[in-house]
Amino acid sequence: MDTPNQGSPAYTHATYAHIIGWGMAVPDKVMTNDDLSAFVDTNDEWIVSRTGIRERRIASEKESTATLALKAAQRALEVADILPIELDMIIVATSTAEYVFPSTASIVQNWLGASRAGAFDMSAACSGFVYGVNMAAQAIRSRSIQTALVIGSETMSRILDWQDRSTCILFGDGAGAVVMRASTVPGGVLSSVLRSDGAGWDVLCVPSVGSRDLDGSEIQPNGHTPFRMFMDGPEVFKFATRVFNDSVSQAVSDAGLTLDDIKLIVPHQANLRIISSAARSLKMDESRFMVNLDRYGNTSAASIPIALTEAVQQGRIAENDYIVFVGFGGGLAWGSMVVKWGAPKPKEEERALLKSQRRQLSYSLATLRSRWRRWIKSINEFFARLSPARGRMARLRDRVDKL
């Protein structure tokens, strides 16, 4: 195995995990509170006053957790100006994965043509993005990888009970992504606090195929239904307001900072009242919290990277600013982290254009490669259905197998 010599950069410099690219994707279809009140007993005034949400995005039939993740990822790669082949790790934080397996991350890896990357999904509900960024940062700082793509992507509309007014009004669909890269410049992810209290597993849950919580019938005595979200709203509210401040304060102090040093808190976008309550108890002005839940609702693991992307686009984060991500939700699980922002280096026009074309080529080649493999598979299946006694056909099949 190659090991760097003593005195080489790998030994003399610490490695930091910086965010160098960001992007988001939301479906075009907007569902307003008035749209909701057409089929469930609710109204705009109640929803806005109790949650702050005015509208949310809903995926079309052609959109899915993976397609939204792909779009957000492509935009993040564009900002980072790197090629898919440079990615070492892809993490998709989601509660609405395309399949139980394979991971949504593997699907995205294939579509991007990120042929050198490992890929896996992260299950930590609405805290998933913070957990994912932490995992990627650890891998970068330990130098086992250089570059990671962390995505939060959700199609919450597919697991909602649209008759249940206490849950269906809260959630929306979307995806956000960041590219993270190793650097010797101090900064990036400075501290992380990840916690869980599994005793609260049943206040917010979606039973799946392996659940001991289900007895095979559609409606369960405990109100839990397969692949439908169950939530005890007031309990979740109490939990969120309890853990928000403690975990933010811990992460900030672990980074050697005080709350005064923090430019912007980018919280999970669950409910404006949760954010306002946190602002009051942290004694921070609400203007120092990024809020966009009025337009997207709660997009679970996608909410922080979507809010981050909009915060950057609105010029609310500058180089060397300290920002905080804080997520909380099903598990119960929660997490906070402090990031020292470092803007990516300016693009060299010509090089950037060339890389952009190479990225497009990578996506097209990935699609072709996927189609080619499926085509070969169907030819093999066709020959397998023919009698093995037909020697000529069998020889032909061998030749196709060798292609």
Size of the site for ligand COA (CB under 6 A): 19
Contact pick of 42, 65, 157, 183 for ligand COA (by CB under 6 A): 42
237 binds ligand COA (CB under 6 A): yes
Written as six digits, the tokens of 272 are 């404006």
Q: Which is nearer to ligand COA, 270 or 338 (CB)?
A: 270
141 binds ligand COA (CB under 6 A): no
54 binds ligand COA (CB under 6 A): no
The catalytic position among 110, 126, 134, 168 is 126
200 binds ligand COA (CB under 6 A): no
Interacting stretch for ligand COA, rule CB under 6 A, among 231-239, 257-265, 306-314, 386-394? 231-239
Q: How near is the Cβ of 126 to ligand COA at its closest, in Å?
A: 4
User: Any catalytic annotation for residue 18?
Assistant: no
Contact pick of 15, 32, 166, 249 for ligand COA (by CB under 6 A): 166
Rounded CA separation 172/317 (Å): 25
126 binds ligand COA (CB under 6 A): yes
The catalytic position among 110, 205, 245, 268 is 268
Contact pick of 29, 141, 158, 165 for ligand COA (by CB under 6 A): 165
User: Any catalytic annotation for residue 13?
Assistant: no
Cα angle 261, 266, 271 (rounded to 5 degrees) comes to 130
Select the residue whose beta carbon is closest to ligand COA and give its number: 233
Q: Which is nearer to ligand COA, 201 or 237 (CB)?
A: 237
Just list the catalytic residues. Answer: 126, 268, 298
